[in-house]
């Protein structure tokens, strides 16, 4: 985090990334003094409503974030920034996205939690676009031109007002991670009751184990002994009304509809008190660790792994076999996970896996048979990317192994 005082004093000359959060109501023109170096500009958590035309002077700017501000229109000046690739304007008040506000090199567009009712046809004229996050808006349809976005890999359209399934997305050749719950076309009246409903007072929350877009997971214990459940539990308390992946209620229902599988975190009970929604689950044993790291700004949609981390081919083959079984289980239950990644997978020294994080998952039993088949194909690509990423960290000595080539052949 930087300060306006540092910027005005000239102390920040030459930096590549600037982060300013000081309740700004106007764009500080002193930022232009960084034109020779600035690549990433983060103005999130201010009170901005406009950006000046002088922004084009930042000729090296590749990434701009302005989440949690007061923008009602996506600034048109963004479309004139020749090298701009990533735009993140989450949680503003944006109603209007002008046709010329989208830069030609756009690769990543985040407009989650705004008030957008329609998008311009020009969106389909951005061939480099890989990641598109539109959850929590008021969209009633998507431009037909989206069918031309042949590099689009990740889409989030949950919690909108889309009446019809956007078929122009379903045939995109690279789409692999797709979240679409909480729309009229995907709304389900299904209420799964395969686990008991307990009051929030049944559990005591302890240390936080992890948190994501949709909620916070904590270690929990029973206030009173529950003989029918294991003693060690985890509790996911869902956030607010809408997240970057959709509605919490949809995530809860899809977790329950998925049912039990040895490589999934088992759901034990739910809490559905007024203003408090939670899922009580088995606690993952401590000897399990994250298999991967989330995508970065550079990798955009693909997972990362710690430097020097490798697996042998037998470990990879075992992990893949388990994930393929999870995949079949999910789609047998007409559930699209939407986030099939190594970073949502835990593993142990014996290559046993536990797969989780259903924040982007969607039930799709209400779709036509053809649409269901296409949804399965989309997630099959995610599984193929998962396999490809693991082969990328395979021990060099195992890369001539028959198993390696057998897994490689699955990708074609």
pLDDT at residue 212, rounded to an integer: 75
For 185-198, how does the pLDDT look when each residue is reduced to its tens digit (9 = 90+)?
998 777 777 788 89
For 70-112, how does the pLDDT look when each residue is reduced to its tens digit (9 = 90+)?
999 999 999 999 999 999 999 999 999 999 999 999 999 999 9
Q: What is the mean pLDDT of residues 203-208?
A: 92
Cross-strand bridge partners of residue 63: 40, 86
Give SS3 for 158. Answer: coil
For 290-325, how does the pLDDT look when each residue is reduced to its tens digit (9 = 90+)?
999 999 989 999 999 999 999 999 999 999 999 999
CATH 1.10.510.10: does it fit domain 289-409?
yes
pLDDT band with cut points at 50, 70 and 90 for residue 245? low
Domain 200-282, what architecture? 2-Layer Sandwich (3.30)
The answer to whether the beta carbons of residues 239 and 307 sit under 8 Å apart is no
pLDDT at residue 137, rounded to an integer: 96
Sheet with 177-179, edge to edge strand ranges: 17-19, 40-42, 63-65, 86-88, 108-110, 131-133, 154-156, 177-179
pLDDT at residue 228, rounded to an integer: 83
The number of CA neighbours under 13 Å toward the Cβ of 188 is: 22
What percent of the chain stands above pLDDT 70? Answer: 99
- Given a cut of 70, whether residue 4 has pLDDT beyond it is yes
CATH 3.40.50.300: does it fit domain 4-186?
no
Q: Rounded distance, CA 359 to CA 337, Å?
A: 8
Q: What is the mean pLDDT of residues 195-207?
A: 90
pLDDT at residue 57, rounded to an integer: 97
Phi, psi of 194 (to 5 degrees): -85, 0
Q: Is 236 annotated as a binding residue?
A: yes
The number of CA neighbours under 13 Å toward the Cβ of 246 is: 31
For 128-183, how does the pLDDT look when each residue is reduced to its tens digit (9 = 90+)?
999 999 999 999 999 999 999 999 999 999 999 999 999 999 999 999 999 999 99
Encoding tokens for residue 262? Answer: 């040895």
Evaluate if pTM is beyond 0.75. yes
Closest CA to 374 of 182, 188, 175: 175
pLDDT at residue 73, rounded to an integer: 98
pLDDT band with cut points at 50, 70 and 90 for residue 44? very high
pLDDT at residue 244, rounded to an integer: 62
Number of neighbouring beta carbons within 10 Å of residue 319:
22
For tokens 């993952």, what's the residue?
284
- Given a cut of 80, whether residue 5 has pLDDT beyond it is yes
Domain extents in the chain: 4-186, 200-282, 289-409
Q: Which of 328-360 are b and which e, b meaning 16 or more Cβ less than 10 Å from the residue's Cβ?
A: ebbbeebbbbbbbbbbbbbbeeebbbbbbbbbb
pLDDT at residue 193, rounded to an integer: 74
| Nearby residues of 59 by Cβ (< 8 Å), 6 or more positions away | 35, 82, 83
């Amino acid at each position: 985090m930087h300060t306006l005082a540092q910027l005005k004093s000239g102390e920040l000359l030459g930096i590549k990334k600037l982060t300013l959060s000081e309740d700004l109501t106007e764009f500080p023109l002193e930022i232009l003094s960084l034109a020779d170096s600035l690549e990433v500009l983060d103005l999130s958590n201010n009170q901005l409503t406009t950006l000046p035309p002088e922004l084009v002077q930042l000729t090296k700017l590749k990434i701009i974030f302005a989440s949690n501000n007061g923008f009602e229109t996506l600034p048109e000046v963004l479309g004139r920034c020749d090298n701009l690739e990533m735009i993140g304007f989450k949680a503003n008040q944006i109603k209007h996205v002008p046709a010329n506000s989208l830069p030609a090199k756009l690769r990543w567009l985040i407009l989650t939690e705004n008030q957008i009712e329609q998008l311009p046809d020009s969106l389909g004229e951005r061939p480099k676009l890989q990641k598109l996050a539109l959850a929590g808006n008021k969209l009633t349809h998507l431009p037909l031109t989206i069918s031309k976005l042949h590099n689009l890999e990740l889409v989030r359209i949950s919690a909108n007002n889309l009446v019809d399934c956007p078929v122009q997305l379903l045939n995109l050749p690279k789409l692999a991670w797709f979240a679409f719950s909480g729309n009229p076309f995907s709304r389900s009246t299904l209420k799964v009751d395969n686990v008991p409903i307990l009051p929030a007072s049944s559990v005591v929350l302890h240390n936080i184990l992890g948190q994501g877009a949709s909620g916070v997971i904590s270690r929990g214990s029973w206030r009173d002994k529950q003989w029918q459940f294991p003693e060690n539990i985890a509790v996911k308390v869902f956030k607010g009304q809408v997240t970057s992946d959709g509605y919490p209620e949809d995530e809860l229902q899809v977790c329950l509809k998925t049912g039990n599988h040895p490589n999934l975190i088992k759901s034990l009970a739910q809490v559905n008190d007024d203003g408090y929604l939670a899922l009580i689950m088995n606690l993952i044993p401590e000897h399990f660790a994250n298999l991967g790291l989330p995508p970065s700004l550079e990798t955009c949609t693909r997972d990362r792994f710690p430097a020097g981390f490798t697996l042998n081919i037998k470990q990879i083959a075992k992990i893949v076999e388990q994930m393929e079984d999870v995949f079949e289980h999910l789609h047998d239950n007409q559930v699209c996970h939407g986030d099939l990644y190594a970073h949502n997978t835990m593993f142990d020294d014996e290559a046993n896996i536990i797969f989780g994080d259903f924040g982007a998952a969607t039930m799709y039993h209400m779709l036509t048979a053809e649409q269901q088949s296409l949804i399965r194909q989309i997630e099959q690509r995610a599984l193929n990317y998962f396999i490809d990423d693991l082969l990328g960290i395979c021990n060099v000595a195992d890369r001539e192994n028959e198993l390696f080539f057998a897994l490689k052949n699955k990708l074609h």
